[in-house]
Every structure is written in structure tokens, then in C-alpha cells.
A and B are shown apart, each in its own frame.
Chain A
Amino acid sequence: MSGEGQGDIIIARGLNKSFPGPVQALADFSVTVRRGEVLVIVGPSGSGKSTFLRCLNGLEEVDSGTIVVDGIPLDENERHRLEIRREVGMVFQSFNLFPHLSVLENISLAQRLVRGKSRARAREFSMELLARVGLRDKAGSYPAELSGGQQQRVAIARALAMMPRVMLFDEATSALDPEMIGEVLDVMRQLADDGMTMVVVTHEMGFAREVSDRILFMEQGRVIEEGTPEQFFNSPVRERTRAFLRQIL
């Protein structure tokens, strides 16, 4: 790709998105993410963080702007959208596990349907992933039998089962009881250590400070400030950022 760094895996340029209502969810929003980078996005509620993540894998359509993920343009071509969804894993605030399927089936389903793996091979990899998130003994359980923290770890394993190049986390710990936040953050930290490219929307400032490579502060669909964790927490430039940090820390 000319003009863009070889290492850029997500290139979003000039995204605009509005819903019926006064505010614009995304307003000329641009960002690039390098391969292996952990980008944390913070911002007040309603600032467009979820909308950005959802646009990245085509759950929401932008009004204008371009998105390229791992060299694949997200455009009218339905095949491109499917390809991108296969390369991008997403973890939701509300877990969204499939309640009628066991944990093992939750993780295996897409491997079989999308990647065409045999039942046995999908199972093998699923068990490996379950071990990685510390839930090997829960393979046969149904989602309703698990705690919130366990459900979210299964959801992460389910996304990883597609061997994505990028993982998106939309407030993955916001729906959890406080005592369960740690176990999910641990899995995310492990993933970052393993070199996964991650875009993380979170209110966990400790995680942002320790794990992220770059923090982006957005408000009303725009990038207000962007920098390394040190810059962001210790010497924010914008008054708006300082006010946000005072409020949240």
C-alpha cells in the first residue's frame, strides 16, 4: 500500500457516522493501528467508541470514510466484509455467548462453519483455548451455568478460535462484578504479551497505563488527544483530557 506504513493493520480515514439525533457518533474520525500494537480508546459515554469498533468489522456502516483492515478494504463487496470479520475478533460488553450451545460448541462452531475444520480438530483447538483462559473443565457447561467473568473468558476464547489478526474489546469488563474484572483483564494482558493487535475500549485506567502502547481520547466522535500512556496520564495537552482524567481517576 503506497503512502502507508507496512506495519499498519488498521487504517481508518475520515469516518463519519450519524444516527437520528443531534450528535454525530463519528466525526471525521481517523486512526491507524500498527501490527502488534495495543491501542486503548477512552472517552465519556456516547462519544462514539462502540460505533468505531462496530464500523471496523462492518456491524455498522459508515456514512463516509474508508476502512482498510489487513489490506482488505471494507466496501460494498460483501465478500470483503466477511473476510474482515474472519480476521477481526470482537468481544462485547454483554458477552453474547450463544445460550443454546455448550461452551465447547460456542468455541467450535465458527471453526467448523467458517474455517471448515473437522469436529475433532475444532474440538482440539477449542480445548487448547479453554486451557489458555483457565476454563478447561467448563467445556460441557452452558453459558447460563457460568459466572460473568467465566462467560467473558469463553467469549474471548470463541473470538480467538478464528485465529484473528486483530481483537476488538468493547468495554469487556463493564458488565462484570468487581471481583471478576481481574480474571478477564489477566487474559487480555496475556494476549497483549503474546503480541496480539488489540483495540480496547475500557474504563480500566490501570490496564490502559500498564498494557497499552497508545491511548486515544475521543469525544463527540472526534479524537481529542492521542499519545503514549506516559504522555496521556502525566502530561495531557488538552484541558478536556485533564478534566476527563480528574473525573475518572
Chain B
Amino acid sequence: MHRRPGKNIASSFDVIKYLLTLGGLAWLIGRGSEQLGYSWHWHRIPGYILTVSHGHWQAGPLLEGLMVTLEVSAASLVLAALIGLVTALLRLSGSLVGRVLAVIYLETIRNTPLLVQIFFLYFVMAPILDLSRFTAAVLALAFFEGAYASEIFRAGIVSVARGQWEAAYSLGLSNYATYRHIILPQAVRLVLPPLTSQAISLVKDSALVSTIAVYDLTMQGRAIVAETFLVFEVWFTLAAIYLLLAFMLSLLVRLVERLLAGRGQPAWSVQ
């Protein structure tokens, strides 16, 4: 990949602006906490992440919470992608029933708050279907993010050039084979960036599962705050961890994009 010559300079300016903003923010918070008479106890935070006892590393509550957040996020991410893809295919299918079902699902999910969906699944559906907290949390997140993922998939699918369908059909490929081998591989490349944003949203939204007492990162943070009143330190730490997660996720996707970029580029429809 070759870069535009000005790009590096421009991005170092961005970094400087970013650092200045952060510095300003830190100063404001420092002053504010001084006026509040807040006494910082940063040294206690590492203990909530990782401790050493009897020569063994032991995960603190924050690290345990992070693992739960990762598990919830990963499980609902996979499920959301699946739900999103199936919904997109249903919406584009020739079946009226399929299209109507897809639209009902989409409209319901997009027009109710995620918090209500989590409560509904946990307090209404979970007792009926005998679901665990964890399962209810994963299902709620997956159905919520799946609705948005399906719109992303749909946009990707319809933007693959019409000629690609026609070429595949004229070779005798079935509908399934055409999707599987021709359309989806091209669509996925197009939707990787918006899908990444959606995955990052999912990780952030997963904090809401703490409301049904799933001991994720946020829930652990709330518990520590309730116990120790380290309000500022804990919430700053949580924010930093979520930020780090999002950052690593986009790095990962950028890597995948780089791997795919060497191969042929998809055919976009000109619209």
C-alpha cells in the first residue's frame, strides 16, 4: 500500500490534538476532584485486576469481569452475525412470509430499548424456557445487534453488481451456491468496516447485562465501588478497559482487511 505524502503529517497533527484534549480533560478532572476534596487511591486498583498470593497469580474481580464480558460478547457476536445474515437473506428472499417475519423482527428490536429487551428475556422468557442468566444475556444482545447487522449485510448484498448474479446463474449455479461462493464473499468484504463498528457497539452494550446481575466487567466495577467508594478510579479503569477492547477489535479487523486486500476486489454495482 502506498500512502499519500501528506497523510503522516496530518495524522501526527491528529495525535497531538488528541493528546492536548486528553491533557485538558485530565486537568479539569484534577481541579474538580480537588474542589470536591476527593482523595485518590490509584494504588488500590491493580489489586482488583491481578493479585499475587502464595506465589500464584490470581485474577482480581475486574479481570474476572473482563473474561465474562469477553465471553458474553463473543457468544452474542457469533450469534448476532448468524441472525443478521439469516434475516438479511429472508428480507431479500422471494418468500412473502419470510420477508414479513424479518420486518416484524427488525421493527420490534429497533423500536424498543435494549434494556427492556434484556429485562423481557430475563424476567419473562428465561423462567418459561428455563434459561440461565448468561444465556438470557447473550440472546438479548444477539437479537438486538443482529437486527442492525442484518441491515449491514443487506446493504452489502444488494451492492454486489447484478452481473455477478447473472454470470453465476448462467453457469447453472443454484441460488444457494451463488450466495455462498459469489455474492457473500464479495459482500462481506464491503461490510467489514460497518460490521466492526457494530461489534464494538456490542461490546459496549454488553455492559447493560450487569442489570440482570451477570458478573461482567461493569457489574464487578459496580460491586467494588459499592464496597470501597473508589468511584473515580474504578470508573476510569473500566472506561480504559472498554476503550482498549474496542481498539484491539478494530486492529484485528484491520489485519483481516489487509489479508483480504491482496486478492481480487469485489464488483460493486454502479447505482
Assuming A109-B181, A113-B181, is B266 touching A100 (CB within 8 A)? yes
Cα distance A64–B181 when bound, in Å?
33
Residue of B nearest to A58 (CB): B169
Assuming A82-B172, A99-B265, A99-B267, is B167 touching A92 (CB within 8 A)? yes
**Residue A162 lies at the interface, judged by CB distance under 8 Å to chain B:** yes
**Residue B166 lies at the interface, judged by CB distance under 8 Å to chain A:** yes
On whether the beta carbons of B189 and A85 are closer than 8 Å, the reply is: no
**Residue B186 lies at the interface, judged by CB distance under 8 Å to chain A:** yes
Question: Nearest Cβ in chain B — how far from A208, in angstroms?
Answer: 23
Assuming A86-B172, A114-B173, is B182 touching A98 (CB within 8 A)? yes
Tell me which residues across on chain A come within 8 A of B170, comparing CB atoms. Answer: 57, 59, 85, 88-90, 159
Cα distance A123–B34 when bound, in Å?
74
Question: Nearest Cβ in chain A — how far from B152, in angstroms?
Answer: 19
**Residue B177 lies at the interface, judged by CB distance under 8 Å to chain A:** yes
Kindly identify, within residues 132 to 148 of chain A, every residue whose CB is under 8 Å from any CB belonging to chain B.
142-144
On whether the beta carbons of A59 and B171 are closer than 8 Å, the reply is: no
Tell me which residues across on chain B come within 8 A of A54, comparing CB atoms. Answer: 166
Assuming A109-B181, A113-B177, is B264 touching A99 (CB within 8 A)? yes
Question: Nearest Cβ in chain A — how far from B38, in angstroms?
Answer: 56
* Chain A 33-50 per-residue mask, 1 if CB under 8 angstroms from chain B, else 0: 000000000000000000
Residue of A nearest to B260 (CB): A100
* Chain A 46-83 per-residue mask, 1 if CB under 8 angstroms from chain B, else 0: 00000000100111000000000000000000000010
On whether the beta carbons of A143 and B264 are closer than 8 Å, the reply is: yes
On whether the beta carbons of B169 and A85 are closer than 8 Å, the reply is: yes
Partner of B172, one of A85, A99, A142: A85
Which size class do A's interface residues fall under? 20 to 34
Cα distance A230–B125 when bound, in Å?
79
**Residue B164 lies at the interface, judged by CB distance under 8 Å to chain A:** yes
Assuming A94-B163, A113-B177, is B189 touching A100 (CB within 8 A)? yes
Known pairs A85-B170, A158-B167, A159-B170 / 10 extra A-B pairs, C-beta < 8 Å? A88-B170, A96-B167, A98-B168, A98-B267, A99-B266, A100-B185, A110-B172, A114-B177, A162-B171, A162-B172
Residues on B facing A (Cβ under 8 Å): 161, 163-164, 166-174, 177, 181-182, 185-186, 189, 263-267
Residues on A facing B (Cβ under 8 Å): 54, 57-59, 82, 85-86, 88-90, 92, 94, 96-102, 109-110, 113-114, 142-144, 155, 158-159, 162
Q: Which 7 A-B pairs have the closest CB atoms?
A: A142-B264, A86-B172, A96-B167, A96-B163, A110-B171, A90-B170, A99-B264
**Can you report 19 residue pairs joining A to B where beta carbons are below 8 Å apart?**
A57-B169, A58-B169, A85-B169, A85-B172, A86-B171, A86-B172, A89-B170, A90-B166, A90-B170, A98-B267, A99-B264, A99-B265, A99-B266, A100-B185, A113-B177, A113-B181, A159-B171, A162-B171, A162-B172
